[in-house]
Structure 1
C-alpha cells in the first residue's frame, strides 16, 4: 500500500457560545482548522485535523499550518501509510520542529492504516479500556456572577467535572473560584486552570487563599521549575499541560515529582504517534492522564476519544467534546455523547464519515 494523494482544507469553526476567554485577556472566537485527507493506491482515505486556539494558546500558528503542510506532503507520496513510526521520523527529517504542522498528516495516516485493517483506531492504540469517557466542561473567564451562573448551568445539564479558568488578577480569581465552588453541589470535580498565566508568587497567593476549596491545580506557571516551586507548598494535586511538549519534558516532570497528572494535546506533541508513546510511558510511570487537543470538530474529537478510551480507566482523568463547541459540521456523524460521557463512533479507523462538500475547495492537493 502506498500514499497516492494528499488534500488539505482550511475550515474556520466559530464557537457556539461566542468568544472563549482565558488568562491575560486572551480571547478566541473560533478554531482555525486544517483538515487533511490522505488516500492510498487501494482507494482507502484517512482523515486528520489540527485546529489551534488562536495564535496565543500553544506554539501553533494557523497560517503556519497552511504553509507547512505543502512543504511536507510531497515527501509522503509513495510511502506506506501503515509504517507509522517511519512516517513520523520522515516528517521530522524533512521538516525540523513545528510538530503541530505534522499532527493532521500523522492522524490521517493512523486513520488510513486502521481503515485498511478494518479495525477501529482504538484497537491499534492498545485496545478499548471502557465504553465511554467522562467529560468535563469549561467555565471561562468572566465576572463572578457570570462564572457562578455558568457553572450552575453546566451542572444542571448533568456534568460533574468543571475546569475553571483562572490566571488573571489573583484577588479576583479567588473570588470567582469561591463563588463557583459555592454554586455547585458538593462533590463536583473542579480543576483551576491558569494556563501558565501566573508567576509563582501569584500562584502561591491563590493556593494559600483557597485551601478550603477542593480542586486540582492545573498549570499555574510557565516552566517546570516555576510549577515545582508552587507544588512544594501545595496541599492539592497538580496537573501540567503546557509544560508537556516532548517525551523528554514528561520524563523531567516525573524525575522532579512536579505533577500528579498530565494533559496531552495531540497537535502540541506532533500527532497520534507521539501522543500514544508519551501516554503509554506516562501511564507506566503512574501519572493520571487526559488526552485532548487544542481544538477541532468531529475528526479531531474522534481521535481524542480513541486515545482516551485506550488509556487505562484507572489512569484516565477526563475528556472533552470539542465538536460540540463549534457551529460547523465536517462529517455526517460524530463521536456519540450521552449525558456527560463520550464514546467513539462505530466503524473502522476514526469511525468518522467526513463529507468533503462541507469542507469547501482544498487549498492544497498533490498526487
Structure 2
C-alpha cells in the first residue's frame, strides 16, 4: 500500500458561545483548523485535523501550519501509510520540530491504517477499556457573577466535572473559585487551571487561601520546577498540561515527582502515534491521564475519544467534546455524546464520515 494523494483544507471554526477567555486577557473567537486527507493506491482515505487555540496558547499557530503542510506532504507520497513509526521518523527527518504541523498527517495515517484493517482505531490503540468517557466543561475566565452563572448552567445541563480558568490576579481568582465552588452541588469535580499564568509565589498564595475547597490544581506555572515547588506545599492533586511536550518531558516530570496526572494534547505531541506512546508509558508509571487537543471539530474529537477510551478506566480523568464548541460541521456524523459522556463513532478508523463539500477548496492537492 502506498500514499497516492494528499489534500489539505483550512477552515475557521467559530465558537458557539462566543469568545473563549483565559487569564491575562488572552482569548480566541474560534479554532483555525487544518484538515488533511490521505488516500492510498487501494482507494482508502484517512482524515486528520489540528487546530491551535489562537497564537497564544501553544508553540503553534494556524499560519505556521498552513505554511508547513506543503513542506512535509511531498515527502509522504509513495510511502506506506501503515508504517506509522517510519512515517513519523520521516517527518521528523525532513522537518525539524513543529510537531503540531505533523499531527494531522499522523492522524490521517492512523485513520487510514485502521480503515484498511476494517477495525476501529481504538482497537489499534490498545483496545476499548469502556464504552464512554466522562466529559468536563470549561468555566472561562471572567467576572465572579459570569463564572458562577456559567458553572450553574453547565451543572444544570447534567455535567459533574468543571475546569475553572484561573491564572489572573490571585485574590480575584480566589474570589472566583470560592464563589463557583459554593454555587455548584457538593461532589462536583473541579479543576483549577491556571494555564501557567502564575508565579510559584502566586500559586502558593492561591493554594493557601483555598485549602477548604476540594479541587485539582492544573498547570499553575509554566516551568516544571516552579510547579514542583508549588506541589511540595499543596495538599491537593496536581496535573500538568503545557509542560508535557514530549516523552522526555513526561519522564522528567515523573523523575522529579512534579505531578499526579497529565493532560496529553495530540497536536502538541505530534500526532496520535506519539500521544499513544507517551500515554502508555505514563499509565505504566502511575499517572492519571486526560487525552485531548488544542482544538478541532469532529475528526480531532474522534481521535481524542479513541485515545481516551483505550486508556485504562482507572487511569483516565476525563475528556472534552470539542466538536460541540464550534458552529461549523465538517462531517455527516460525530462522536456520540450522551448526557455528560462521550463514546467513539461506529465504523472502522476514526469512524468519521467527512464531507469534503463542507470544507471548501483545498489549499494543497498532491498526487503520486
TM-score of the superposed pair, with normalisation by structure 2:
1.00
In structure 1, what is the Cα distance between the partners aligned to 2:182 and 2:248?
40
Gaps of 5+ in 1: none
In structure 2, what is the Cα distance between the partners aligned to 1:346 and 1:287?
29
Which position in structure 1 is the counterpart of 2:117? Answer: 117
Report the 3-state secondary structure (helix = DSSP H, G, I; strand = E; otherwise coil) of the residue aligned with 1:294: coil
Which position in structure 2 is the counterpart of 1:313? Answer: 313
In structure 1, what is the Cα distance between the partners aligned to 2:146 and 2:33?
29
Which position in structure 1 is the counterpart of 2:25? Answer: 25
Which position in structure 2 is the counterpart of 1:96? Answer: 96
In structure 2, what is the Cα distance between the partners aligned to 1:109 and 1:223?
33
Which position in structure 1 is the counterpart of 2:325? Answer: 325
Which position in structure 2 is the counterpart of 1:134? Answer: 134
Give the aligned CA root-mean-square deviation in angstroms: 0.3
Which 4+ residue blocks in structure 1 deviate beyond 3 angstroms?
none
In structure 2, what is the Cα distance between the partners aligned to 1:246 and 1:346?
31
User: What aligned pairs does 1:267-278 form with structure 2 within 5 A after superposition?
Assistant: 267-278=267-278
Report the 3-state secondary structure (helix = DSSP H, G, I; strand = E; otherwise coil) of the residue aligned with 2:197: coil
In structure 2, what is the Cα distance between the partners aligned to 1:317 and 1:27?
25
Report the 3-state secondary structure (helix = DSSP H, G, I; strand = E; otherwise coil) of the residue aligned with 2:12: strand
Which position in structure 1 is the counterpart of 2:248? Answer: 248
Which position in structure 2 is the counterpart of 1:289? Answer: 289
In structure 2, what is the Cα distance between the partners aligned to 1:63 and 1:5?
23
1:25-51: CA deviation from partner (whole Å, max 9, x where unpaired): 101001000000000000000000000
Report the 3-state secondary structure (helix = DSSP H, G, I; strand = E; otherwise coil) of the residue aligned with 1:301: helix
Matched, 1:339 2:335: no
Which position in structure 2 is the counterpart of 1:170? Answer: 170
User: What aligned pairs does 1:109-258 form with structure 2 within 5 A after superposition?
Assistant: 109-258=109-258
TM-aligned CA deviation for residue 61 of structure 1? 1.1
Report the 3-state secondary structure (helix = DSSP H, G, I; strand = E; otherwise coil) of the residue aligned with 1:48: strand
In structure 2, what is the Cα distance between the partners aligned to 1:98 and 1:339?
36
Gaps of 5+ in 2: none
In structure 1, what is the Cα distance between the partners aligned to 2:288 and 2:61?
29
In structure 1, what is the Cα distance between the partners aligned to 2:22 and 2:345?
31
User: What aligned pairs does 1:61-76 form with structure 2 within 5 A after superposition?
Assistant: 61-76=61-76
TM-aligned CA deviation for residue 24 of structure 1? 1.2
Report the 3-state secondary structure (helix = DSSP H, G, I; strand = E; otherwise coil) of the residue aligned with 1:39: strand
Matched, 1:49 2:44: no
In structure 2, what is the Cα distance between the partners aligned to 1:59 and 1:100?
8
Which position in structure 2 is the counterpart of 1:2? Answer: 2
TM-aligned CA deviation for residue 247 of structure 1? 0.3
TM-score of the superposed pair, with normalisation by structure 1:
1.00
TM-aligned CA deviation for residue 23 of structure 1? 1.1
1:291-330: CA deviation from partner (whole Å, max 9, x where unpaired): 0000000000000000000000000000000000000000
TM-aligned CA deviation for residue 189 of structure 1? 0.1
In structure 1, what is the Cα distance between the partners aligned to 2:235 and 2:315?
21
1:88-140: CA deviation from partner (whole Å, max 9, x where unpaired): 00000000000000000000000000000000000000000000000000000
Report the 3-state secondary structure (helix = DSSP H, G, I; strand = E; otherwise coil) of the residue aligned with 1:49: strand
In structure 1, what is the Cα distance between the partners aligned to 2:317 and 2:59?
24
Which position in structure 2 is the counterpart of 1:358? Answer: 358
